[in-house]
Amino acid sequence: MSRVAASEMLKVRDLHAFYGKSHVLRGVNMDVPKGSVTALLGRNGVGRSTTAKAIMGEVAPKGGIWFKGETIAGLPSHSIACKGLGYVPENRDVFPLMSVRDNLLLGIKDIRKPGRWSIEQMLDMFPNLKSRADTAAGVLSGGEKQMLTICRTLMGDPDLIIIDEPTEGLAPKIVTQVGELIAEIARAGVSILLVEQKLSIALKIAQQVYVMGHGEIVYHGTPEEFRARDDIRREWLEV
């Protein structure tokens, strides 16, 4: 019998993870409801990216992880992806010698099954990418590579997408564009787990907020509730 309610896309319970002898995640509990944007906030080094990697099978997890009612803890990354969980890591990896268009084509999991998104939709959404569709992806700016990695993941038609630090190091104009893309993804019915530091983006588009500190969740609430918690912001987010 499923351990996840119908409204829950992703459920994480008592999740632990280690790098060697270093105990990084210390009992993380989190839910991502269907059709929602969930923001995971926190300072660098507290375990946010490790949480994403443990969910995706890139770091060995200890604990419970359920996706669409099915346990995925310990499965290989490619099997998790094939179940409909997309992942945009923070390193913005592209295939540098391949064109923008060919990078997008690589994201398609099944050419026989049309997804929510087409290549032309992706290119229309970002004129910068459209004008360079036949250009090698390696010459793109950091912001353009970020857009490309998000769009490539969308081409696999995920039901939930984990996006890790999408606005890190980007110019304000590009940050706005990335935020608009994430909001557009949510409007299309894709659930999102957004790992982010910029409160302006996270609080604008998220329906719920988790704050992580020292490898565990230290706060959970709505953006409105979070705005009233200056103590949480000072203790766990401000530098």
Q: In which residue ranges of the chain is pLDDT below 70?
A: 1-6
Q: Name the helix (H) or strand (E) containing 130.
A: helix 127-131
Contact 85, 52 (CB under 8 A): no
Tokens of 103: 């990078």
pTM: 0.91
Please tell me the predicted confidence (pLDDT) of residue 4.
Answer: 41
Question: Among candidates 28, 21, 5, which has minimal Cα distance to 193?
Answer: 28
Burial grade of 22 (CB within 10 A; 0-12, 13-18, 19 or more)? exposed
**What type of residue is 99?**
S
Number of helical H runs and strand E runs in the chain: 10, 10
Strand ranges (E), 51-157: 61-67, 70-71, 85-88
Tokens of 159: 């039901």
Q: Give the tens place of pLDDT for each residue, 110-130.
A: 777 777 788 988 888 778 889
Please tell me the predicted confidence (pLDDT) of residue 54.
Answer: 97
Please tell me the predicted confidence (pLDDT) of residue 170.
Answer: 84
Domain 8-236 sits in which CATH superfamily? P-loop containing nucleotide triphosphate hydrolases (3.40.50.300)
Domain ranges of the chain: 8-236
Task: State the Cα–Cα distance between residues 197 and 203, nearest whole angstrom.
Answer: 11
Answer positive or negative: Cα dihedral of 181, 184, 189, 191. positive
